[in-house]
Structure 1
Amino acid sequence: MAQQKMIRVGNCSGFYGDRISAMREMLEGGDVDYITGDYLAELTMLILGRDRMKDPSLGYAKTFVRQVEECLSLALEQGVKIVTNAGGLNPAGLAEKIREIADNQGLKVNVAHVEGDDLRERAEELGLGAPLTANAYLGAFGIAECLKDGADVVVTGRVTDASVIVAPAIAAFGWERTDFDELAGAVVAGHVIECGTQATGGNYSFFTEISNLGRPGFPIAEIHSDGSSVITKHEGTGGEVSVGTVTAQLLYEISGARYAGPDVTTRMDTIELSEDGPDRVRISGVTGEAPPPDLKVSLNTLGGFRNQADFIVTGLDIDKKVALAKEQLEAWLTKPPAELRWEVSGTARDDAPTEEQASSILRCIVKDMDPKIVGRNFTSVAVELALASYPGFALTAPPANAQPYGLFTPGYVPQAQVPHVAVLADGTRKDIAPAPETLPLVDADNPVVEAPADLGATKRVPLGTIAGARSGDKGGNANIGVWVRSDAEWLWLAHTLTSDNLKELLPEAQDLTVHRYVFPKLRALNFVIEGILGQGVASQARFDPQAKGLGEWLRSRHLEIPVAFLDA
């Protein structure tokens, strides 16, 4: 295997709930050597944790089981190996389920799994408290050990998203633990394809430029033995692979120039992109450094219970109607919840042609450890207001029962304190040693960008007229990557869009800490806004809890842009 020069790795899942037919589409659409799938996010771990509380035999992604039932025979027939983190909190259980499927279908399959990431039983000992789930982000070498042993299917628990893509390259090319440049190159390829169709035009700022976005194809990484890669997709599938779509995904959920992982710290500021033909983008020049000494740990706890009521407020005197509803509801509650928050969304138009355009939504969100306080106590009052409040009172729907919500916090544990075990198809257990060489993680200095030339007259238009953006969540923080497509635009962007300017454009970030990172080779800036998502997506701190639309809000904001760019 070490003599191979290139492998084709296709991804068929970017999250738990992604297109169920994607695995079959990948197998039937053309040649691949490996199929990977990413099913785990911070919120997913909480969902799987609750599944495991109800039934200890669960804790894995059940949609993956359906895909295996449909596609295992075809994958074995084509010699395609499957690598996935769908094992979640129970990789051994998922491995056994796959063997059961194979037996029922009369198939012979070698299934291996990787374990050691689940630290829940040791959480207190490791100083991580008493969470519902505690999972360290393992790397790719355990998966690679399973593949080198001949596994047809490898399932893992919590590994870094890119690890399921990096591992096939390690197994194929014989990379060692200190081949940091090669590993970093594969991490970049993995980061691009791990979120599925976000690499082929999904969630892309300039989506109107893509002629066929009806059903984007899933991405493929052609990874070479030197760590370089080409991102592509099966011929004839929808969407597009371009420098723009790849740039957008590279900026997703990152921070600065150093992108830390358990196997390598990838220098995101070294990435070079170039067109390599239709729907083909080459990634080269990536360098890597030794990983940090600690592994990140995903910690989820049950934060309590939440509920909400959405009031429709229509017509005249909107502000006074809102004030009356707030005053009444808060006064009528016999047991005030621990947290009560109001939000007004939508702006009622004056003299509107439709009733909906004349209305705003007043949302009341409540949280408490006692489900009764945010359940019956809250919903009864919201309903009792119906004939006693502002004119035109209505609810979008009857208030529901209280729902549990979770809190995410990151933890860190020395690599040597986390077991990393490859459980081979025959049951043999192989311990994977921690990284032999580590470096403490520190931010790289932002490069100095030359000042732009005098660009002449400007016009006040949306930033998105010339700039793309991609945003996402990292615990309670959000990131917004912003990029442009010409060198002149880049010099202007780098000197115009400062952290202070971002706060002016996004007032919700005004009182928060904002970090700015500069990526000249991608013509991009990345901003990390601390705390804007509260305690993570599961805490439901904002109406957009994963910050998916934050970048598009920024693009819609107006500022003075050189007319020369607009004419071009």
Structure 2
Amino acid sequence: MKEHRLERVRGTRPVRIANVAGGQMEPAWQMRKQATLGDIDFITGDWLAENNIPQEATALEAGTGEGFKKNAWEGLQLSMDVIAEKGIKVVIDAGALGPGNMARRCQELIDEKGYDLNVAYVSGDNITHRVRDSLNDAGKLPRSWEDMSGKNHEDAKFTAKEVLAATAYIGARAIVKGLENGADIVICGRVADASPVIGAAWWWYGWSDKDYDRLAGAFLAGHIIECSAYASGSNFSGFNRYPLETFIDSGFPIAEIENDGTCVITKHEGTGGFVTEETIKCQLLYEIQGNVYLNSDVKALLDDAEIKEVGKDRVKLSGIKGRPPPPTTKLAIFFKGGFESQNLANFAGYSNNRKHHLYEIQIRRHLKEMGLADAFDILEFQNIGNARTDPRSMFESTTYSRIFAQAKTAEPLSALKLLLADNTQQKPSGLHWAQDMRTADPKTFYVYYPCIMPQDEIEEAVHLLDKGGKTKQSISVTRPPAYEDFGQRESYDTAKATPLESFGETVSMPLGNIVIGRSGDKGPNVNMGLFTDRPEIWEWLRNFLTLDRMKKLVGRDWKPEFKIERVEFPGIYAVHFVIYGILGRGVSSSTLLDNRGKGFTDYIRAKHVDVPKKFLQWAWEEKDEVGEDF
């Protein structure tokens, strides 16, 4: 009866897709919450990222894990009864290197409880063996692969033994095929973040793989909801204009996708947070790279995106156009990088910067005397924070020193920790430590090496399970029917720029008083979008935020080796930037505190700039007071 009931309504109304996870730490109960609080057709979730696949690989190799995300499995255990009762379909990106193992766990539970559910898993993304074989046989990666900057791999600095995992980002084709053959639950390894949503809508309406506008619309719907509460109040840079109570427990989003690919983003009634034009604009601008967004099934053109509120907690996204996908897809290779440590110390008050400088001179001098000056791949002395002039409390007077170190072996890091202990009584004035020194112990780290590889080299398939967990059917998936080369990314300043003087007299204030936005990571790069809600401010903003201006706003963090790109989205009054290389080697081994670029937008928004006085009527106040009762 379940299948007949679903088939009767399939395609006759918008498909309701509820996201339950946007990162590896999402708790199991969020899945049950989305399943029980209202009517939905699909559950989707993404637990995978560039920093946790090698973690799963290490656990799998050590025998301490099964290759998949345990909290995703816990969510299925907690929610399976509701999924079965309501006939909800599930497509999740949580299988990592063990999607088959996770699918068999699901089948065991279904068999035990007698649920009328069919399970499938997707394969083809895990090409670790191909990477290792190529390095063993030829000493290099295949000629058809390139790194993300377009260079060849002659200088790839890792061996087959060092490779932990290699996963290609695949699309929704296997998901669709699994659903077409009766799967109720589809477990994916490393499909692209939005692919579960694309697959759900594609199957629901029976689209062709050449329905590029529709696929592109579903792609952006998936992009909007795949980071869970980021679309409904979490990580919202405009939060200071609302009561803090609003954001304590934001409900997770739901995408209602129409047959034409347009969608409405909403959430279950009565949950916290909110869905507004601003929250959806923030998420649209998050972790994209310019005005063309790539997926294995479609290329989405974002230039004409429109975002309009159509009801309370209901925002419509339209104007997304599609083109054939590129002939290549992203490949993430992870290899053992060695060992790293963080030695943390606090400095109080007076003459603060000079103390930090003395501390660095002392340690580097002693390392040189010990013959360890060149023993580190990375050794950075970071002065975090600024001591307040005329402080009102000890905390306001305190900054901290972060010595970030990486080396091929653990010995130099252990020697550094011992040296710092030996130097205790020779420390600069005002230095003090926290009690927990575990960050100073060497720990292994891995390096993320981003590549692109031809889509036609992917061997994608879906596997449907029978009772007992045996595979009853494996279906190979064809490649996309057409490709379109991506070409060069656009980057430009405003054409026919208006002189800033023409906007009248100015006043200095934080840029964040008139714009909000969002930023995030794409490997070693940071992306950031800033926007206004006023057409009057938009004309100034697009002329003010030039490529050169952004370099200046980055300040002392800018380095000559970085590259920057800029595009505009006039339909949502937004300017978008990508800064290449600012995260170093990326999340897994970045030396930065903000190694995912999440705080970059608010850093830029805190900069004081000259804003036309006539905009003061629309400016917000930078609220920083506390005192609400909790």
Pairwise mapping of residues 187-226 of structure 1 onto structure 2 (< 5 A)? 187-211=219-243, 212-226=246-260
Question: CA contact under 8 A between 1:151 and 1:425: conserved in structure 2?
Answer: no
Find the counterpart in structure 1 of residue 126 from structure 2.
118
Find the counterpart in structure 1 of residue 583 from structure 2.
533
Letter matched to residue 516 of structure 2: G
Equivalents in 2 of 1:449, 1:25: separation in Å? Answer: 48
1:248 deviates by 0.3
Aligned with residue 361 of structure 1, among 377, 397, 400: 400
1:278 deviates by 0.6
Q: How many residue pairs end up in the alignment?
A: 567
Equivalents in 2 of 1:173, 1:108: separation in Å? Answer: 23
Query: How large is the Cα RMSD of the aligned pairs?
Result: 1.8
Aligned with residue 558 of structure 2, among 500, 506, 509: 509
Find the counterpart in structure 1 of residue 616 from structure 2.
566
Letter matched to residue 68 of structure 2: Y
Aligned with residue 434 of structure 1, among 472, 479, 496: 479
Find the counterpart in structure 1 of residue 153 from structure 2.
none
Deviations 1:359-404 (A, max 9, x none): 2211111110111221x21211111111122223322342532111
Letter matched to residue 382 of structure 1: L
Find the counterpart in structure 1 of residue 323 from structure 2.
289
1:228 deviates by 0.9
Find the counterpart in structure 2 of residue 556 from structure 1.
606
1:564 deviates by 1.7
Aligned with residue 169 of structure 1, among 191, 201, 222: 201
Question: CA contact under 8 A between 2:124 and 2:459: conserved in structure 1?
Answer: yes
Deviations 1:31-63 (A, max 9, x none): 100010111111121222222221286111000
1:354 deviates by 2.2
Deviations 1:473-512 (A, max 9, x none): 1111111111111111111111100111111111112522
Inter-CA distance 469–187: structure 2 relative to 1 (3 Å threshold):
same
1:469 deviates by 1.6
Q: Check if 1:497 corresponds to 2:545.
A: yes
Aligned with residue 303 of structure 1, among 323, 330, 337: 337
Unaligned 5+ runs, structure 2: 1-6, 135-140, 146-157, 619-630
Equivalents in 1 of 2:20, 2:416: separation in Å? Answer: 43
SS at structure 2 position matched to 1:18: coil
Equivalents in 2 of 1:445, 1:505: separation in Å? Answer: 18
Letter matched to residue 366 of structure 1: A
Pairwise mapping of residues 473-488 of structure 1 onto structure 2 (< 5 A)? 473-488=521-536
Question: CA contact under 8 A between 2:494 and 2:542: conserved in structure 1?
Answer: no
Aligned with residue 263 of structure 1, among 293, 297, 313: 297
- Bigger drift between 298-307 and 450-459 goes to 450-459
Find the counterpart in structure 2 of residue 371 from structure 1.
410
1:270 deviates by 2.4
Inter-CA distance 449–33: structure 2 relative to 1 (3 Å threshold):
farther
Aligned with residue 456 of structure 1, among 494, 504, 521: 504
1:213 deviates by 1.6
SS at structure 1 position matched to 2:240: helix
Question: CA contact under 8 A between 2:59 and 2:65: conserved in structure 1?
Answer: no
- Bigger drift between 138-147 and 44-53 goes to 44-53
Find the counterpart in structure 2 of residue 545 from structure 1.
595
- Bigger drift between 122-131 and 496-505 goes to 122-131
Q: Check if 1:17 corresponds to 2:49.
A: no
Q: Check if 1:319 corresponds to 2:353.
A: yes
- Bigger drift between 450-459 and 474-483 goes to 450-459
Aligned with residue 105 of structure 2, among 80, 97, 109: 97
Deviations 1:236-281 (A, max 9, x none): 1111111110000000011111111100000011221111111101
Find the counterpart in structure 2 of residue 151 from structure 1.
183
Inter-CA distance 450–9: structure 2 relative to 1 (3 Å threshold):
farther
- Bigger drift between 183-192 and 41-50 goes to 41-50
1:517 deviates by 1.3
1:330 deviates by 2.0
Find the counterpart in structure 2 of residue 68 from structure 1.
76
SS at structure 1 position matched to 2:76: helix
Inter-CA distance 204–242: structure 2 relative to 1 (3 Å threshold):
same
Aligned with residue 428 of structure 2, among 390, 415, 437: 390
- The alignment's TM-score, normalised by the length of structure 1, stands at 0.96
Question: CA contact under 8 A between 1:478 and 1:532: conserved in structure 2?
Answer: yes
Question: CA contact under 8 A between 1:386 and 1:393: conserved in structure 2?
Answer: no
Question: CA contact under 8 A between 1:463 and 1:554: conserved in structure 2?
Answer: yes
1:416 deviates by 1.2
- Bigger drift between 246-255 and 437-446 goes to 437-446
Letter matched to residue 425 of structure 2: L
- Bigger drift between 171-180 and 128-137 goes to 128-137
Equivalents in 1 of 2:285, 2:14: separation in Å? Answer: 25
Inter-CA distance 366–444: structure 2 relative to 1 (3 Å threshold):
closer
Find the counterpart in structure 2 of residue 41 from structure 1.
49
Equivalents in 1 of 2:395, 2:410: separation in Å? Answer: 33
Identity of aligned residues (%): 34
1:19 deviates by 3.6
Question: CA contact under 8 A between 1:12 and 1:35: conserved in structure 2?
Answer: yes
Question: CA contact under 8 A between 1:210 and 1:240: conserved in structure 2?
Answer: no
Q: Check if 1:84 corresponds to 2:89.
A: no
Equivalents in 1 of 2:318, 2:430: separation in Å? Answer: 61
Question: CA contact under 8 A between 2:338 and 2:407: conserved in structure 1?
Answer: yes
Equivalents in 1 of 2:535, 2:430: separation in Å? Answer: 54
Unaligned 5+ runs, structure 1: none
Find the counterpart in structure 1 of residue 63 from structure 2.
55
Find the counterpart in structure 1 of residue 442 from structure 2.
402
Question: CA contact under 8 A between 2:404 and 2:591: conserved in structure 1?
Answer: no
Question: CA contact under 8 A between 2:305 and 2:569: conserved in structure 1?
Answer: no
Equivalents in 2 of 1:446, 1:502: separation in Å? Answer: 13
Question: CA contact under 8 A between 2:493 and 2:567: conserved in structure 1?
Answer: no
SS at structure 2 position matched to 1:42: coil
Equivalents in 2 of 1:360, 1:57: separation in Å? Answer: 39
Letter matched to residue 408 of structure 1: Y
Question: CA contact under 8 A between 1:232 and 1:280: conserved in structure 2?
Answer: yes
Letter matched to residue 550 of structure 1: F
Equivalents in 1 of 2:356, 2:257: separation in Å? Answer: 57
Equivalents in 2 of 1:283, 1:312: separation in Å? Answer: 48
Equivalents in 1 of 2:459, 2:165: separation in Å? Answer: 16
Equivalents in 2 of 1:20, 1:74: separation in Å? Answer: 14
- The alignment's TM-score, normalised by the length of structure 2, stands at 0.87
**Runs of 4+ more than 4 Å apart:** 444-453
Equivalents in 1 of 2:317, 2:393: separation in Å? Answer: 51
1:108 deviates by 3.9
1:176 deviates by 1.0
Find the counterpart in structure 1 of residue 621 from structure 2.
none
Equivalents in 2 of 1:46, 1:518: separation in Å? Answer: 36
Letter matched to residue 113 of structure 1: Y
Equivalents in 1 of 2:399, 2:65: separation in Å? Answer: 46
Equivalents in 2 of 1:553, 1:60: separation in Å? Answer: 35
